């Protein structure tokens, strides 16, 4: 029972929206409050606000466990990521623009897959951003991938995903992020 409690805590702490914010201090100018606030809105709030509201109303669980329920909950995230990409491009904040675009391309790919198959958003939400950080800032950030083991264990322990769903969530995020960053740089 204790390991389930730990797995639940890990699942909340390392959800995709929160993790996107955790990484901002690595590459964003924390003195630029406007930019940070916009990033928090587009990366952290918009992607989960609809889920939180529906969860409070008792219509879904916070992890949107039912595959058939998932697609519609990707829409606010996609809008937030795309808006962030466009806005930060216009503001000449190329790193933040690319970060938002990477989130958009990975999320759009997972969105399309979710119509037919359940895939781990948690793993995508760890592996995609880590790949972005490694490709843009260097190999010294490779140890961030170790978090995927922790998150994968938690999601598997809670029976939220099969090993294949976890693996594919991570691999798809790595590949899509790689091509997004390489193509856009």
Task: Map out the domains of the chain as residue ranges.
Answer: 2-184
Cα separation of 121 and 3, whole Å?
21
Task: Please give the pLDDT value at position 167.
Answer: 98
Contacts of 37 (CB under 8 A, 6+ apart): none
Residues 145-173 have pLDDT tens digits of 999 999 999 999 999 999 999 999 999 99
Q: Is the dihedral of CA 60, 61, 63, 65 positive or negative?
A: negative
Residue 1 has what pLDDT? 65
CA dihedral 137, 141, 145, 146 (to 10 degrees): -170
Q: Do 181 and 137 meet the contact criterion of CB atoms below 8 Å apart?
A: no
- pLDDT per residue over 65-91, tens digit each? 787 888 888 999 999 999 999 999 999
pLDDT above 80 for 109: yes
Question: Measured at the alpha carbon of residue 118, what is the angle toward residues 112 and 123, in degrees to the nearest 5?
Answer: 90
Mean pLDDT over residues 103-115, rounded? Answer: 96
Is residue 74 a contact partner of residue 52, using CB atoms and an 8 Å limit?
no
2 contact partners, CB below 8 Å, separation of at least 6: none
Closest CA to 105 of 126, 82, 89: 82
**Whole-number Å distance between alpha carbons of 63 and 120:** 10
Write down the pTM of the prediction: 0.93
Report how far residue 29's alpha carbon sits from residue 96's, in angstroms, rounded to the nearest whole number.
Answer: 10
CB within 8 Å of 153: residues ≥ 6 apart: 7, 10
Contacts of 99 (CB under 8 A, 6+ apart): 20, 27, 43, 129, 132
Q: Give residue 153's pLDDT.
A: 98
Query: Which helix (H) or strand (E) is 183 found in, with range?
Result: helix 163-184
pLDDT tens-digit map of 10-68: 999 999 999 999 999 999 988 999 999 999 999 999 999 989 899 899 888 888 878 78
Which of residues 2 and 161 earns the better pLDDT score? 161
């Amino acid at each position: 029972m204790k390991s389930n409690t730990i797995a639940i805590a890990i699942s909340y702490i390392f959800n995709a929206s929160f993790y996107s914010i955790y990484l901002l201090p690595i590459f964003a100018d924390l003195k630029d409050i406007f930019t940070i606030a916009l990033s928090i809105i587009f990366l952290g709030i918009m992607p989960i606000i609809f889920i939180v509201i529906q969860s409070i109303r008792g219509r879904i669980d916070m992890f949107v466990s039912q595959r058939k329920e998932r697609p519609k909950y990707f829409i606010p995230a996609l809008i937030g990521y795309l808006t962030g990409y466009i806005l930060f491009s216009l503001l000449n904040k190329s790193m933040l623009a690319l970060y938002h675009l990477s989130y958009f391309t990975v999320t759009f790919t997972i969105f399309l897959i979710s119509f037919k198959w359940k895939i781990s958003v948690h793993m995508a939400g760890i592996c995609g951003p880590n790949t972005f950080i490694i490709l843009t800032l260097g190999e010294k950030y490779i140890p961030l991938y170790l978090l995927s083991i922790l998150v994968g264990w938690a999601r598997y322990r809670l029976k939220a995903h099969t090993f294949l769903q976890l693996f594919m969530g991570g691999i798809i995020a790595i590949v899509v992020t790689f091509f997004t960053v390489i193509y856009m740089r």
